[in-house]
């Protein structure tokens, strides 16, 4: 094969990169969770920890302490130096971002809400991280949505969700766990039953895209819809059945 | 990957740019190109490449496999992305079925959730877009499209040799371009719909010569 030309990696100027100097990520819930949402908020923290554990990312701590108002998960990132544009660095960064996204997605799963919620600090952290590789907003949005869906797929797996639920319970009981305690807890976990999130909130979105405020908007058909018609998901499900 | 004249708006130049888009993306990402066949009379084209994923070169569940899948998805999307950039109206409503089926089949090797595959596909399409928007890449797409009008059948080695020989402008300083608004716009939004006229003329000229 002919030698390929490698262009200089495109990226924003250094001062635009905010939290990217750090190598430890801390996903913190800054509001004080209401009592009725405590289970969901504990699942938020536990989901970070379980997925980071599954990815082999060393966890520092997970805290769910209502008395001192600290609710956070922290881990040592495996992402590489910020100017490293290698494939390995990209994979490591993507895993970090998925672990970041799992909190919000896990909380939404626990509450039965749509997982496409927004406005959370975790998501801005994920966007900051993605700035290492991409500055084009279209690519960042696409990557972000892909990571969120991967987080959903990971968490809706019965084995993962069961561990998340159990770790969340444990976390509410002991308030804080360090990395070793979490690793030991997850490694020793043996359950006979499997818990799955209800998933009641998810249904096939009507097409063309109808937002919740009932304004009819046009959106591009997705890959599945382009191949199977605008009712792509349902058609696929019927084929499976 | 094939594209046929599915609607009236698709011209020969569109087909050539489509196939050239696939080939340049594959070349840039290190995917081995098989060949490009263009049927000039019926305005139909086909580009093939050696799929590392299809050949089972990576262990199942590995990061390398996922990354290879993503790379091939970018290549599969690059055709329509290039065509749309070249002649947007001509690509309106066009569904390159074989390309999309290739994307779906490739992604299904590691994922079964269709929503996840949809988002993954969108992400790969965006990556293809940013790759082709680079002036150097786009210059190669145009040059290869004109070359395809001269020689409608090109094999992998010939394509690689041709692309390596295309003279492109020096890559601009991206950091400087990002800082200066005008330079950024010049860099990222440099596509002019009228810019396709010289390419179309060159393609028409090459086609006439062949006759």
How is residue B193 written in tokens? 């719909």
% residues pLDDT > 90 (chain B): 51
Range with lowest mean pLDDT among A35-49, A108-122, A197-211: A197-211
The CA distance from A141 to the nearest CA of chain B, in Å, is 8
Indicate yes or no: CB of B130 within 8 angstroms of CB of A141.
Answer: no
Alpha carbon distance B36, B157 (integer Å)? 11
Is A223 touching B (CB cutoff 8 A)?
yes
How is residue A175 written in tokens? 């308030």
- The residue of chain A with its CA nearest to that of B116 is A149
pLDDT, greater one: B21 or A113: B21
Indicate yes or no: CB of A233 within 8 angstroms of CB of B161.
Answer: no
Q: Which residues pair with B46 in a beta bridge?
A: B2, B37
How is residue B104 written in tokens? 């779906």
Distance of CA B21 to the CA centre of its chain: 2
How is residue B101 written in tokens? 């089926």
**Residues near B100 by beta carbon (within 8 Å), at least 6 away in sequence:** A223, A226, A227, B76
pLDDT, greater one: B173 or A121: A121
How is residue B46 written in tokens? 């086909």
What pLDDT is stored for residue A201 in this prediction? Answer: 46
B contacts of A139 (beta carbons < 8 Å): 123, 126-127, 129-130
Tell me the C-alpha to C-alpha distance, in Å, between residue B91 and each of B75, B82, B127, B144. Answer: 18, 10, 19, 19
- Cα angle at A229 between A227 and A232, to 5 degrees? 80
What pLDDT is stored for residue A205 in this prediction? Answer: 41
B contacts of A11 (beta carbons < 8 Å): 174-175, 178
- The residue of chain A with its CA nearest to that of B159 is A2
Identify which of B104, B111, B119 has the shortest CB distance to residue A227: B104
What pLDDT is stored for residue A123 in this prediction? Answer: 80
- Dump pLDDT digits (tens) for B146-156: 999 999 999 99
What pLDDT is stored for residue A47 in this prediction? Answer: 94
Local confidence band at A203 (pLDDT 50, 70, 90 cut-offs): very low
Residue A204 scores a pLDDT above 60:
no
What pLDDT is stored for residue A160 in this prediction? Answer: 93
What pLDDT is stored for residue A240 in this prediction? Answer: 53
Give the mean model confidence (pLDDT) for residues A81-94: 79
Other CB atoms within a 10 A radius of the CB of residue A192 amount to 4
Is B108 touching A (CB cutoff 8 A)?
no
Q: What is the SS3 assignment for A239?
A: helix
Is B27 touching A (CB cutoff 8 A)?
yes
With contact defined as beta carbons under 8 Å apart, do A175 and A64 qualify? yes
Q: What are the contacts of A118-121 at 24+ separation with CB within 8 A?
A: A121/A27, A121/A28, A121/A30
Indicate yes or no: CB of B160 within 8 angstroms of CB of A2.
Answer: yes
Other CB atoms within a 10 A radius of the CB of residue A125 amount to 22
How is residue B29 written in tokens? 């990402």
What pLDDT is stored for residue B185 in this prediction? Answer: 47
Range with lowest mean pLDDT among A44-58, A131-145, A170-184: A131-145
DSSP for residue B2? E
Give the mean model confidence (pLDDT) for residues B108-119: 92
Q: What are the contacts of A232-238 at 24+ separation with CB within 8 A?
A: A232/B114, A233/A204, A233/B114, A233/B115, A234/A204, A236/B114
- Dump pLDDT digits (tens) for A150-178: 999 999 998 999 999 999 999 999 989 99
Is A180 touching B (CB cutoff 8 A)?
no
- The residue of chain B with its CA nearest to that of A145 is B119
- The residue of chain A with its CA nearest to that of B175 is A13
What pLDDT is stored for residue A16 in this prediction? Answer: 42
What pLDDT is stored for residue B193 in this prediction? Answer: 62
Nearest residue to A142 (alpha-carbon basis) of B143, B73, B48: B73
Is B61 touching A (CB cutoff 8 A)?
no
The CA distance from B55 to the nearest CA of chain A, in Å, is 18
The B residues from 165 to 184 touching A (CB cutoff 8 Å) are: 168, 171, 173-175, 178-179
Q: What is the SS3 assignment for A226?
A: helix
Alpha carbon distance B208, B199 (integer Å)? 14
Is B138 touching A (CB cutoff 8 A)?
no
Residue B181 scores a pLDDT above 50:
no
Range with lowest mean pLDDT among A11-25, A38-52, A117-131, B103-117: A11-25
B contacts of A134 (beta carbons < 8 Å): 130
- Dump pLDDT digits (tens) for A28-54: 776 666 677 788 889 989 999 999 999
How is residue A232 written in tokens? 């792509």
The CA distance from B171 to the nearest CA of chain A, in Å, is 7
Tell me the C-alpha to C-alpha distance, in Å, between residue A205 and each of A74, A115, A201, A208, A233. Answer: 35, 13, 11, 9, 9
Residue B188 scores a pLDDT above 70:
no
With contact defined as beta carbons under 8 Å apart, do B117 and B104 qualify? yes
Local confidence band at B33 (pLDDT 50, 70, 90 cut-offs): very high
Tell me the C-alpha to C-alpha distance, in Å, between residue B22 and each of A90, B27, B34. Answer: 23, 9, 11
With contact defined as beta carbons under 8 Å apart, do A60 and A99 qualify? no
Alpha carbon distance A42, A45 (integer Å)? 5
Nearest residue to B54 (alpha-carbon basis) of B22, B102, B19: B102
Local confidence band at A3 (pLDDT 50, 70, 90 cut-offs): low
pLDDT, greater one: A83 or A62: A62
Alpha carbon distance B7, B91 (integer Å)? 9
What pLDDT is stored for residue A39 in this prediction? Answer: 86
**Residues near B183 by beta carbon (within 8 Å), at least 6 away in sequence:** B172, B176, B177
- Cα angle at B91 between A224 and B122, to 5 degrees? 35
Average pLDDT, chain A: 76
With contact defined as beta carbons under 8 Å apart, do A95 and A55 qualify? yes
How is residue A138 written in tokens? 């279209």
A contacts of B175 (beta carbons < 8 Å): 11-13
pLDDT, greater one: A222 or A213: A222
Alpha carbon distance B20, A208 (integer Å)? 33
Instruction: Identify the residue whose tokens are 């740019």.
Output: B17
What pLDDT is stored for residue A142 in this prediction? Answer: 94
What pLDDT is stored for residue B48 in this prediction? Answer: 94
Residue B18 scores a pLDDT above 90:
yes
What pLDDT is stored for residue A229 in this prediction? Answer: 72
Give the mean model confidence (pLDDT) for residues B3-23: 81
- Helical spans, DSSP H, in B108-195: 114-133, 135-150, 156-165, 174-179, 181-188
How is residue A112 written in tokens? 């039965």
pLDDT, greater one: B90 or B117: B117
Indicate yes or no: CB of A2 within 8 angstroms of CB of B161.
Answer: yes
H/E stretch holding A41 reads helix A38-54
How is residue B64 written in tokens? 């390398």
Local confidence band at B71 (pLDDT 50, 70, 90 cut-offs): very high
Is A201 touching B (CB cutoff 8 A)?
no
What pLDDT is stored for residue B154 in this prediction? Answer: 95
Give the mean model confidence (pLDDT) for residues A69-76: 79
- The residue of chain B with its CA nearest to that of A152 is B116
Alpha carbon distance B84, B74 (integer Å)? 15
Is A2 touching B (CB cutoff 8 A)?
yes
What pLDDT is stored for residue B27 in this prediction? Answer: 95
Indicate yes or no: CB of A143 within 8 angstroms of CB of B101.
Answer: no
Give the mean model confidence (pLDDT) for residues B54-76: 91
Residue A182 scores a pLDDT above 80:
yes
């Amino acid at each position: 094969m002919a030698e390929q030309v490698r262009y200089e990696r495109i990226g924003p100027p250094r001062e635009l990169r905010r939290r990217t100097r750090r190598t430890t990520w801390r996903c913190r819930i800054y509001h004080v969770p209401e009592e009725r949402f405590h289970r969901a908020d504990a699942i938020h923290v536990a989901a970070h920890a379980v997925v980071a554990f599954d990815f082999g990312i060393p966890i520092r701590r997970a805290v769910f302490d209502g008395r001192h108002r600290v609710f956070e998960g922290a881990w040592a990132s495996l992402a590489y130096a910020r100017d490293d544009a290698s494939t390995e660095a990209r994979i490591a960064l993507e895993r970090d971002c998925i672990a970041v996204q799992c909190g919000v997605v896990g909380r939404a799963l626990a509450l039965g809400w749509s997982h496409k919620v927004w406005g959370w600090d975790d998501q801005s952290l994920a966007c900051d991280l993605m700035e290492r590789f991409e500055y084009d907003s279209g690519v960042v949005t696409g990557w972000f949505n892909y990571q969120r869906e991967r987080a959903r797929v990971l968490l809706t797996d019965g084995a993962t969700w069961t561990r998340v639920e159990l770790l969340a319970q444990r976390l509410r009981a002991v308030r804080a766990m360090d990395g070793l305690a979490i690793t030991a807890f997850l490694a020793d976990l043996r359950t006979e039953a499997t818990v799955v999130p209800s998933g009641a909130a998810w249904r096939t979105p009507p097409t063309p895209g109808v937002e919740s405020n009932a304004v009819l908007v046009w959106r591009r058909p997705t890959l599945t819809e382009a191949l199977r018609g605008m009712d792509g998901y349902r058609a696929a499900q019927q084929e499976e059945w | 990957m094939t594209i046929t004249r599915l609607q009236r708006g698709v011209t020969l130049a569109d087909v050539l740019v489509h196939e050239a888009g696939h080939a340049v993306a594959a070349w840039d990402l290190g995917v081995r190109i098989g060949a490009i066949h263009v049927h000039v009379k019926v305005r139909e084209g086909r580009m093939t490449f050696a799929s590392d994923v299809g050949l089972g070169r990576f262990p199942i569940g590995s990061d390398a496999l996922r990354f290879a899948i993503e790379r091939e998805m970018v290549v599969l999307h690059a055709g329509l992305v290039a065509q749309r950039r070249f002649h947007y109206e001509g690509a309106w409503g066009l569904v390159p079925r074989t390309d999309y089926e290739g994307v779906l089949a490739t992604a299904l090797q590691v994922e079964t959730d269709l929503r996840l595959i949809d988002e993954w596909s969108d992400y790969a399409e965006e990556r293809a877009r940013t790759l082709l928007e680079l002036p150097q890449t786009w210059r190669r797409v145009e040059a290869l499209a004109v070359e395809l009008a001269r020689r409608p059948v090109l094999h992998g080695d010939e394509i690689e040799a041709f692309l390596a020989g295309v003279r492109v402008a020096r890559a601009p300083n991206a950091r400087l371009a990002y800082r200066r608004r005008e330079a950024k716009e010049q860099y990222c939004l440099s596509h002019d719909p009228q810019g396709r006229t010289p390419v179309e003329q060159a393609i028409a000229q090459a086609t006439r010569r062949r006759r």
